[in-house]
Structure 1
Amino acid sequence: MIRKPVLGEITQGTLFNCAVADRYQSKRVHGLAITARCDIANDKFPVLNYLPVVTLYDWMHCDGFEILYANALRSSSGSFEAVLKQAGVAVSVLAANPRQEVVSSFFDEDEATKAQKKLATKAHELADRLDRLEAVEMDDSSDRKWFLDAYKNEASDLVRNLIHNKVSSFYFLPSVTESNEGDGYVILLRESAFLPRQVAKEVANGVERPSSIGAELDKHLSFEFDDFAMPVGQLQSPNIEHVLQTFSYMFGRIGLEDYNVSFVEGVCRRDFATEGVG
């Protein structure tokens, strides 16, 4: 999938280090060049477009975390509301009363019905889980670790879906070099970036960290983890084409207005056995 790059060459599918991604500042980011090969070969590109590539670990603590968190919150909320309905409690009470107060009032009181008392333990567990989820702060590493530990199975399912290209806006790569390190990387399909042509050419040949702060390279590259920006791998065909196809699908879906229902029914009711006979 990944072959050794050619130093001095940067083309579609080239992976390079020292790239940047807005939501992954202070994280190691690679770039995957996506500018058309012919434009690069004919030197007709004002900028080199690329897609940021981050480690699977960092992705699981950022975008992946957000996906899991939203799913967990939605699932727990749905389960809690289902318990309320089973106990004969209107979900609308949550609009005016705190969750824990609702549980205490309807499930713990002596007046609680048999069905409500039977569901009390589950109601408390779900209410406590929702309180804990709502207290999670993404920027808090301890909160992220608690969450990822509590939802290990869901995290595994997410990674599995990512690998099988079933997570919208993201694309899995097992490695970024020919070594096939296997740590796992994620292409951020919605966060395309670019390098000015001159900067791209310098990266192709390999370029050192600039000696002066505020240099042109600093505007487009990050030398926080590496002192030398250069190509590190080349994503081969048909993999690069599949990445581009997945990327284009996100922006190429066209929605059309449905035909009028009565028109559809009229067409479907036509008698093709006898129509035109006469």
Structure 2
Amino acid sequence: MIQKPVLGEITQGTLFTCAIADRYADKRVHGLAITARCDIANNKYPVLNYLPVVTLLDWLHCDGIEILIENSRKNQSGSFDTILKQASIATSVLETIPRQTVVTSFFDDTNATKTRKKLAARAHELADQLDRLEALDLDCVKDRNWFLSAHQKEVSALIKELINNKVSSFYYLPSVTDENENEGYVVLLRESAFLPRRIAKEVANGLDRPVSSNSWLDSHLSFAHDDFAMPVGRIPSPNIEHILQTFSYMFGRIGLEDYSSDFVSDVCARNFLKEETA
């Protein structure tokens, strides 16, 4: 899918080094140019718009793990609520009493019903898991590694959805060069950025790391991981159009209120048989 770039040219679909992404400040980031080809060809672009591209590994330790933790929290909270209902305990009790106290008070009490005693082990397990999730420090590599290791099945499922373009706001790329690196990359569709035209033209020809601090350049490029800002690949048609379609879809959706369930039920229950005529 990735082709060799053309030296001295940045156009729609070009991948280049030294890009910037707000949530990946200390990571290697590539840029995917999305400005219209005709604007670039006719020099009618004040800025070159691009989408940041990060490695799959870095994505999993940032956006990916947040998705996984949120899914896990919802699933385990739902399971815990189910345990409470099975034990005839109102879930609203959690609004005023800590989770662990609820488990100790209702499930471990010597006067607890047989049903509650039977559910006690599962209630403790879910409460401990939820506490562990809430205590996770996402700035700590050890904590992130623990979670990803403990949820390998969920990690694999998320990556599969990502590759099949079923994870909103992100787009999977196998590589950023014409070589199949097999590392995997992720386009951050919601973090669009730009390069001023002057810098974009310098990047097209290959821009060396500045010998001294350059506040204007530093605000648009990062040389923390690469000595040169330059094109390294190009996404051809129709792949680049599919990426842009996915990108634009996020901002072009029109939300409408759903019909009420009663209305839908009434329509579905209608008699659709026509009166027969002789």
TM-score relative to the length of structure 1: 0.92
- Determine if contact 1:174/1:185 at 8 Å carries over to the other structure: yes
Equivalent residue for 2:37? 37
SS of 1:51 mapped into structure 2: strand
SS of 1:142 mapped into structure 2: helix
**Superposition pairs for residues 77-226 of structure 1, below 5 Å?**
77-226=77-226
**In 2 relative to 1, CA 214–150 (structure 1 residues): closer, same or farther, beyond 3 Å?**
same
- Whether 2:16 is the aligned partner of 1:16: answer yes
**In 2 relative to 1, CA 264–106 (structure 1 residues): closer, same or farther, beyond 3 Å?**
closer
SS of 1:199 mapped into structure 2: helix
Is there any run of 5+ residues in structure 1 with no aligned partner, and where?
none
- Determine if contact 1:206/1:229 at 8 Å carries over to the other structure: yes
Q: Deviations over 1:78-122 (max 9, x none)?
A: 111100111111111111211111111111111111111111110
Give the Å deviation of 1:189.
0.2
**In 2 relative to 1, CA 264–112 (structure 1 residues): closer, same or farther, beyond 3 Å?**
closer
SS of 1:232 mapped into structure 2: strand
Equivalent residue for 1:47? 47
SS of 2:211 mapped into structure 1: coil
Q: Identify the range of structure 1 (84-93 vs 207-216) with the bigger mean alpha-carbon deviation.
A: 207-216
- Determine if contact 1:210/1:218 at 8 Å carries over to the other structure: no
The percent of aligned pairs where both chains have the same amino acid is: 70
AA of the residue aligned to 2:230? M
SS of 2:35 mapped into structure 1: coil
**In 2 relative to 1, CA 27–86 (structure 1 residues): closer, same or farther, beyond 3 Å?**
same
Give the Å deviation of 1:273.
11
Alpha-carbon separation, structure 1, partners of 2:258 and 2:85: 36
**Superposition pairs for residues 55-66 of structure 1, below 5 Å?**
55-66=55-66
Give the Å deviation of 1:255.
2.8
Give the Å deviation of 1:214.
2.3
Give the Å deviation of 1:140.
1.2
Q: Deviations over 1:150-206 (max 9, x none)?
A: 111111100000000000000000000001111000000000000000000000000
Give the Å deviation of 1:235.
0.5
Structure 1 residue ranges, 4+ long, deviating more than 3 angstroms after superposition: 256-261, 271-274
Alignment RMSD, CA only?
A: 2.5
**In 2 relative to 1, CA 91–229 (structure 1 residues): closer, same or farther, beyond 3 Å?**
same
TM-score relative to the length of structure 2: 0.92
**In 2 relative to 1, CA 140–119 (structure 1 residues): closer, same or farther, beyond 3 Å?**
same
Give the Å deviation of 1:33.
0.1
Alpha-carbon separation, structure 2, partners of 1:259 and 1:113: 43
Give the Å deviation of 1:256.
4.3
Is there any run of 5+ residues in structure 2 with no aligned partner, and where?
none
Give the Å deviation of 1:216.
2.9
SS of 1:3 mapped into structure 2: coil
Alpha-carbon separation, structure 2, partners of 1:260 and 1:194: 43
Alpha-carbon separation, structure 2, partners of 1:115 and 1:259: 40
SS of 1:217 mapped into structure 2: helix
